[in-house]
Amino acid sequence: MSVIVYTTPECPYCRQAKVFFEKNDVPFEVLDVSVDCEIFDEMQRKSNNMSVPVIDIDGEIFIGFDEEELNEALGMSSSVARDSFDF
């Protein structure tokens, strides 16, 4: 499984997404769109969107952080996923 999180350092929803993947032991790659125009362009091509986070799970694109949607995409039920976020 390939998971890519397009992010910026100041994005709170990006942080939630990264914590979600970490707490659920899902390996993911972080691509910071604020430091690389090519990565920003790639994110825009994939999502037709300019805001972050954009999450690519095996080619399926998710815009924003929606825990329920991500649980479903990863084949996890809400009761299985560990959803406590400590910031």
Q: What is the pLDDT along the chain (87 residues), one digit of tens a residue?
A: 999 999 999 999 999 999 999 999 999 999 999 999 999 999 999 999 999 999 999 999 999 999 999 999 999 866 544 444 554
Q: Which amino acid is at 50?
A: M
pTM comes to 0.86
Which domains, from first to last, does the chain contain?
A: 3-73 (3.40.30.10)
Question: Are the beta carbons of 17 and 65 closer than 8 angstroms?
Answer: yes
Q: Which amino acid is at 12?
A: P
DSSP single-letter state for residue 64: S
Structure tokens belonging to residue 16: 């939630």
> Is 64 exposed, middle or buried, given 0-12, 13-18 or 19+ CB atoms closer than 10 A?
middle
Residues 6+ positions from 59 with CB-CB distance below 8 Å:
2
